[in-house]
Amino acid sequence: MPESAATQQGQQPVRESFGSRLAAAMATRGPLCVGIDPHPQLLAQWGLNDDAAGLERFSLTVVEAVASLAAAVKPQVALYERHGSAGMAVLERTLAASTDAGVLSIADAKRGDIGSTMAAYADAWMRDGSSLAADSVTLSPYLGFESLRPALDLAAQYGRGVFVLALTSNPEGKSVQHVGGSDSVARRIVAAAAAENQRYDGVLGSVGLVVGATIGSALEELAIDLGPVRGAILAPGLGAQGATPADLRATFGDAYSSVLATSSRGILVAGPDVSALRAATEETLDGLRGE
């Protein structure tokens, strides 16, 4: 990115918003995010040890295979944390490799807290110069949507994005997210994201939502309209978790054009061969485009 006059005067450079960058990537490559989920079972299937070296080989192979095809990659942070500091160092290198390869990164960290602690999380995942800085990060709003303010503001400041958990497909999620019926917790989160995206120009704002691909009729039952959000809908569950492209179209209806479908194991089981991973990615994209 060339330096602007502001940069030369010591101010931070102006980066195109995450929403605009993601919209461009989805338009040119297709609406697919590939999850980088180094589960112990997958590492073993790839013939790799369940250690930092195996983790790195796995992660960088996935980036190499899919970076030119997918709109984004999504490392699952917990699967790096389980290896301690060595694992987090691998995550840092994976995020850097994604940037170098020209694919957007979504750190699936699901962070959420209050006050200075939330500010510290935001600083770690969004500040330019942080070794963990990703293009976007997943956030949990269940201490109140406004508790995410430090991350929302830092994302806008640095041209990064967030994906806020709204409607997840795990059965336990209903005990919180569905409470209130037509005025549900999930609906209030969706409305808050829509309001936040008013600060952004372009096709997509930089505040997206996480809505499971396997939620079935929950949007209709809770009278939730995703159209006004004007942010990307990160939809995990395509492939191994059971959702098909047809399911996505039925679930999201008019909002389908904003859906960034996520497939992890459905693609990763094709490894460790790079050409096989690419073929699995292309097949998944064909399904998303062709249904």
Helix (H) or strand (E) holding 64: helix 52-66
Q: Say how far apart CA 272 and CA 197 lie, in whole Å.
A: 39
Q: Say how far apart CA 97 and CA 104 lie, in whole Å.
A: 10
Q: Evaluate the omega torsion of the peptide bond into residue 272 and state whether it is cis, within 30 degrees of 0.
A: yes
| Residue tagged active-site, from 29, 39, 93, 110 | 110
Q: What is the CA radius of gyration of the chain?
A: 18
From 188, 189, 290, 197, select the one nearest 248 (Cα to Cα). 290
Residue 74 annotated to the active site = no
Residues whose CB falls within 8 Å of the CB of residue 279, separated by 6 or more in sequence, listed in order:
270
Beta bridge partners of 161: 136
What token pair was written down for 196?
């936040």
Pairing mode, if any, of strands 161-167 and 136-139? Answer: parallel
DSSP sequence for 4-63: PHHHHTTSPPP---HHHHHHHHHHHH-SEEEEE---HHHHHHTT--SSHHHHHHHHHHHH
Backbone angles phi, psi at 240, to 5 degrees: -60, -30
Burial-class residue 170 by CB neighbours within 10 Å (0-12, 13-18, 19+). exposed
Could you give the residue numbers annotated as active site?
A: 110
